[in-house]
Amino acid sequence: MKIAIVNRHVDDVLGGSEMQCDNIGRGLSAKGHEVIYVAPAGSKEKNYSRPYQIVAVDSNAKAIADAVINANPDIVYWRFNKYFLYKSAKAIANHNIPIVFSISHISDTQRWNYLVNPFKSPLNFIKAIKQSLENAFNYRGYQYVSGVASLNTQFLNLLPIKKQRYLPNSVDTASTPFTWPRPYVVWVSNLKPQKQPELYIKVAKEFAASGVDFLMVGKVLSEDYAWVKTEHERTPHFHFLGPKTPAEVNGILANCLLNIHTCKPEGFGNIFIQAWLKHKPTVSFAFDPGGFIDANNLGGFADGDYDVFKSQIARLINDPQYRATTGERAYEFGRANFSIEKTVNEIEDFLMEVLEDSKKGFEKELVSQS
Q: Is the pLDDT of residue 144 over 60?
A: yes
pLDDT at 362: 55
The 8-class DSSP code of residue 360 comes to H
- Spatial strand order in the sheet of 34-40: 53-57, 34-40, 2-6, 75-78, 99-103, 147-150, 164-166
Does the pLDDT of residue 367 top 80, yes or no? no
Gap between the Cα atoms of 42 and 88, Å rounded:
17
pLDDT digits (tens, 9 = 90+) for 183-211: 999 999 999 999 999 999 999 999 999 99
Assign domain 2-169+340-369 to a CATH class: alpha beta
pLDDT at 25: 97
Report the chain's C-alpha Rg in angstroms.
22
Q: What value does the mean pLDDT take over residues 162-189?
A: 96
Q: Which CATH architecture has domain 184-337?
A: 3-Layer(aba) Sandwich (3.40)
Quote the CA–CA distance of 312 and 302 in Å, as a whole number: 8
Residue 360, pLDDT score:
78
Q: Mean pLDDT over all residues of the chain? A: 94
Torsion of CA 162, 166, 167, 170, to 10 degrees: 150
Handedness of CA 145, 146, 150, 153 (dihedral sign): positive
Give me the mean pLDDT over the 343-356 stretch.
97
Give the integer Cα–Cα distance in Å for 84 and 17: 17
Q: Where in the chain is the domain with CATH 3.40.50.2000?
A: 2-169+340-369, 184-337
| pLDDT-above-70 percentage for the chain | 97
pLDDT of 56 above 60: yes
Measured CA to CA, the distance from residue 312 to residue 252 in angstroms comes to 21
Name the phi and psi angles at 246, rounded to 5: -55, -40
User: Is residue 224 within 8 Å of residue 191, measured between CB atoms?
Assistant: no
Q: What percent of the chain has pLDDT over 90?
A: 86
Is the pLDDT score of 363 beyond 60? Answer: no
Q: Give 214-273 pLDDT, tens digit per residue.
A: 999 999 988 899 999 999 999 999 999 999 999 999 999 999 999 999 999 899 999 999
Given a cut of 50, whether residue 370 has pLDDT beyond it is: no
Residue 94 has pLDDT above 50, yes or no: yes
